[in-house]
Amino acid sequence: MINQLNPSLVVIGVPPMEQEKILEFLLKKKIDFLCEKPISKTNKKIKLFKSLSKKNNNKKIIDLNFLTIPAIIKFKEIINNMNLTNDDLIKINWFFKPKSQSDKQSWKNNIKKIGGELNNFLFHLLSVIFYFFGNFKISYLQNKNSFYIFLIETKKNKFKLNFCSKSNKNKFLIKIKSRKGNYSLINNSKDYHNNFYIKKNNFTIFKKNFPKNKSRVFASKNILSLFLKNDNNLFKETNFQRGLQIQEKIINLK
């Protein structure tokens, strides 16, 4: 199909085991692509993809669609103006129950097929942490019955990340206590991509939603548009190299 159609762009929408093979082919052929997470379950493949990526300048983007959510973009602006120090306190919680959990045949629930809660969901949260705080180290503090506690170490801060994929309700919270005030990024709805809002000192200061029932589409459209326009900031955060960095952190969790 590639040889016959000679496409300028390939959008991949297959399970990760199949995507892994397609990525290697596209990287070698130097064809632009938009791929999904997760990328791989082995450091050997990550190393290969890194090597192949350095050998070409084609556009390689991963669909880290949380980074296009309006409240997340706004919270990034707030963090940039806070000049965080070691004295500032950060708290991150994400408790939820995936819609795919009841589907026993889905790759999303199978670690051997590069699924599982860390590959499938933690990946998104780590992309947000990278976006907000820059590069970081992550390690286990607790791993019990799908309730995880991680230690996150950034250049300026250390904080705990509480993550659970067997909650009855979706509760997303990033809270920062600083000398410039207390700010919180919140989503308590069933829609992972919608209904986020920001509070400062218990008052809501920002709330902007995507159209109802279309949040997933709208969250990804700006990433796909990167093939047609220049957005250096978004491209930097959703570049395939960033995806490889995040996948590597998940593979090497200790």
User: Does residue 205 belong to any structural domain of this protein?
Assistant: yes
**Terminal-residue alpha carbon distance, the chain:** 41
Phi, psi of 156 (to 5 degrees): -115, -15
Closest listed residue to residue 107, CA positions, set 19, 197, 238, 175: 19
User: Does residue 203 belong to any structural domain of this protein?
Assistant: yes
User: Does residue 33 belong to any structural domain of this protein?
Assistant: no
Long-range contacts of 105-109 (CB under 8 A, 24+ apart): 107/15, 107/16, 107/17
CATH number where 149 lies: 3.30.360.10
3-class SS at 26?
Answer: helix
Cis peptide before 38 (omega within 30 of 0): yes
pLDDT, average across residues 20-30: 95
Q: Tell me the pTM.
A: 0.95
- Predicted confidence band of residue 245 (pLDDT cuts 50, 70, 90): very high
How many domains does the chain divide into?
1
Predicted pLDDT of residue 146: 87
Query: Percent of the chain beyond pLDDT 70?
Result: 100
User: Does residue 174 belong to any structural domain of this protein?
Assistant: yes
User: Does residue 118 belong to any structural domain of this protein?
Assistant: yes
- Predicted confidence band of residue 100 (pLDDT cuts 50, 70, 90): confident
Q: Would you say 162 and 94 are in contact if contact means Cβ atoms under 8 Å apart?
A: yes
- Predicted confidence band of residue 173 (pLDDT cuts 50, 70, 90): very high
Helix (H) or strand (E) holding 35, with range, is: strand 32-35
How high does pLDDT run on average in the chain? 93
> Where in the sequence is the domain holding 158, given as residue range(s)?
66-211
User: Does residue 241 belong to any structural domain of this protein?
Assistant: no
Cα(97)–Cα(225) distance, integer angstroms: 31
Predicted pLDDT of residue 230: 80
Cα(28)–Cα(52) distance, integer angstroms: 7
Residue matched to tokens 């949380």:
66
Predicted pLDDT of residue 103: 79
